[in-house]
A = this chain, B = another copy of it.
Amino acid sequence: MSLATDAADKTTLYKRIRADIEKRILTGEWPPGHRIPFEHELVARYGCSRMTVNKALSELAQADLIERRRRAGSFVRRPQHLSAVLKIADIRAEIIALGRSYGYELIGRKLRAATAADRDRLGVKKAGKVVAITCRHSADNVPFAVEDRLIDLSSVPNAATADFSREPPGSWLLHHVPWTEAEHTISAIAADERTAEALDIAVGAPCLVIDRYTWRSARTITAVRLLYPGDSHRLVARFKGG
């Protein structure tokens, strides 16, 4: 009863060890650079085997909260202050999650041999055919975002015959192309005439832009630009660590 390790916890031991240490780090009790107890000390404190504390410490190391150095010990890491988890949902799912009615409208669809500009945008040397799609998403009948997308048909041949007049291409791809990697670039631009009309905002009004480039094991799949009215849309990112 003398140690802080009594109490019939319902959780498992290694999780409790991990939580104990995480708490001390997050509260600042153990600041960056602080050496946390050696494995054998934790073994003694918690009365368990080394594998158990090792599992706890390994997970903390994986989460970048601590750094482990052979012979020296484990140390609280200096916070990175540079990585945050950004949630970018499928637009349809996002609007529905907000409790608003989702509307979708296909503005244009073209199937063509890739032009030089297309190849440049997709980041490929040579491409066969591509589908170019322009569409608009709305929430409660108010324009929410316009989408301008290019799909590489050599990677996703099915997209040639998909019916994008009913289903938004983002949702379609999500269900037909598993496990991709992507890169997002976020910026702000002034609405040009075409955008202003589609979003029902003034020409020159600020828009939030997300450019997403998606590939799967080195094969380009799609490049998309999403334009949101700047005053109505927000991206939220959360993170831990400095």
Q: Is A43 an interface residue (CB 8 A)?
A: no
Chain B binder among A24-32, A130-138, A139-147: A24-32
CB closest residue in chain B, given A208:
B188
CA A28 – CA B231 in complex, angstroms? 39
CB contacts (< 8 Å) of A103 on chain B: these are none
CB contacts (< 8 Å) of A184 on chain B: these are 84, 86, 235-239
Q: Does A182 lie within 8 Å of B84, measured CB to CB?
A: yes
CB contacts (< 8 Å) of A84 on chain B: these are 85-88, 182, 184
Q: Is A207 an interface residue (CB 8 A)?
A: yes
CB contacts (< 8 Å) of A183 on chain B: these are 236-239
Count residues on chain A whose CB falls below 8 Å from chain B CBs.
57
Q: Does A188 lie within 8 Å of B216, measured CB to CB?
A: no
Q: Does A190 lie within 8 Å of B59, measured CB to CB?
A: no
Mark interface residues in A154-195 (1 if CB within 8 Å of B CB, else 0): 000000000000000000001001111111111111100000
CB closest residue in chain B, given A191:
B206
Question: A residues 46-68 with Cβ under 8 Å of B?
Answer: 59, 62
CB contacts (< 8 Å) of A83 on chain B: these are 85-88
Name A residues whose Cβ lies closer than 8 Å to a Cβ of B.
25-28, 31-32, 59, 62, 76, 78-79, 81-90, 174, 177-190, 204-209, 216-217, 228, 230-231, 233-242
